[in-house]
Amino acid sequence: MLGAKEIKEILPHRYPFLMIDRVEEVEEGKRAKGFKNISINEEFFNGHFPDYPVMPGVLILEALAQMGAICILSKEEFKGKIGFLVGADKVRWKQQVMPGDRLDLEIEITKLRGSIGVGTGYASVDGKVVCQGEIMFAIG
């Protein structure tokens, strides 16, 4: 299990763009699972939308990408590097994410050649998938 301190040692992201609160499982280079607690105090709720706060879909995708980065950057050969989101395919948003939700994040790396890879990610709330898709990344 990785808490905030360990996550910050792996990812360069910081508030308000660090989208992972805890990592519950990591199989280096293969899969990772964790979550983000969605608070009404999130910066993005100030403008999305003031009277109907909904987490922007692109930030759900970013959270999945960060979970993928945790998975890959945990490998010895990639420690200290940065993961870059370079593409997304077959992404679907199925439900809104609201303040008070726990956004569960899971990713499986399906392809890794050199410093380029692909992962399949699922974000869910209360066991229901809210977003899924393929994420492409490069390690630099």
**Closest to 140 in 3D by CA, of 12, 4, 3:** 12
Q: What's the mean per-residue pLDDT of the chain?
A: 97
pLDDT at res. 58: 98
Query: What is the arrangement of strands in the sheet containing 83-93, beginning at the earlier edge strand?
Result: 22-27, 31-37, 102-113, 116-125, 128-139, 83-93
Q: Which residues are catalytic?
A: 48
Residue-wise pLDDT for 50-92, tens only, equals 999 999 999 999 999 999 999 999 999 999 999 999 999 999 9
Number of domains into which the chain is organized: 1
Contacts of 18 (CB under 8 A, 6+ apart): 7, 8, 11, 66
Q: For the domain that residue 56 is a member of, what is the CATH number?
A: 3.10.129.10
**Domain membership of residue 53 as a residue range:** 4-139
